[in-house]
């Protein structure tokens, strides 16, 4: 929703004249009511948006059998912080994130992702504590939503679960998209 024009006192007076009857409210109170009503309308419209209006359909994903190094490469090349993990039927079985990779390397939270890439490339041989396959270190089960889930519900899930992205699945659990926090912000802002 584009920004509304600035409401002036003259606009209020003209609107009151157009009503043609007495309204027992000050112009200032009427402005406050208008601003609040507009805020509620924007919130209502945003909550009625389905995830399908915000999700990305071109999703980069990995399989449970892919090497962790493949996941690191895809994260780096695509400048993203997590990937859905799918099985051979395209069903979402988990998510692998930078945090999962850090944890698998036994690294603390103070290291950068660049440090992890250096280690994965062999500069420093930190042993994997959980395994070398994506399926060994992914977070599972994945928290997912359907394309028809409203954006407000998706945003609440992201916040409550403290995650950055939600795989979007069809009725059979197959990957059809992904929605990230930034996607939701853009969708709501454009209303």
pLDDT of res. 125: 42
pLDDT of res. 128: 43
The boundaries of every CATH 3.10.580.10 domain in the chain are: 52-189
Give the position of tokens 């920004």.
3
User: Where do runs of H (alpha helix) occur along 63-137?
Assistant: 68-78, 98-104, 113-120, 134-137
C-alpha to C-alpha distance for 137 and 95, rounded to whole angstroms: 9
pLDDT of res. 8: 67
The predicted model scores a pTM of 0.68
**Buried b / exposed e along 156-179 (16+ C-beta atoms within 10 A):** ebbeeeebbbbbbbeeebebbbbb
pLDDT of res. 35: 80
CATH class of 52-189: alpha beta
Q: Which helix (H) or strand (E) holds 161?
A: helix 151-161
pLDDT of res. 110: 57
Instruction: Give me the average pLDDT of each 10-residue run along the chain (191 residues).
Output: 58 73 80 78 75 93 95 94 95 93 68 67 54 89 95 92 94 96 83 63
User: What sign has the CA pseudo-torsion 94, 96, 101, 106?
Assistant: negative
Pairing of strands 92-97, 145-146: unpaired
């Amino acid at each position: 929703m584009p920004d509304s024009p600035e409401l002036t006192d003259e606009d209020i007076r003209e609107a009151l004249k157009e009503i043609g009857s007495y309204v027992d409210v000050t112009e200032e109170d009427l402005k406050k009511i208008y601003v609040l009503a507009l805020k509620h309308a924007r919130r209502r419209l945003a909550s009625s948006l389905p995830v399908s209006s915000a999700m990305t359909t071109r999703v980069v994903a990995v399989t449970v059998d892919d090497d962790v190094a493949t996941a690191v490469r895809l994260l780096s090349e695509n400048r993203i912080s997590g990937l859905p993990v799918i099985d051979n039927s395209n069903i979402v079985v988990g998510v692998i994130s930078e945090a999962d990779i850090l944890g698998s390397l036994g690294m603390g939270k103070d290291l950068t992702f660049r440090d992890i890439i250096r280690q994965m490339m062999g500069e420093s041989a930190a042993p994997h504590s959980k395994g070398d396959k994506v399926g060994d270190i992914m977070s599972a089960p994945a928290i997912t939503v359907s394309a028809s889930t409203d954006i407000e519900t998706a945003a609440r899930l992201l916040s409550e679960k403290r995650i950055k992205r939600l795989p979007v699945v069809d009725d059979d659990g197959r990957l059809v998209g992904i929605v990230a926090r930034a996607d939701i912000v853009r969708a709501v802002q454009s209303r």
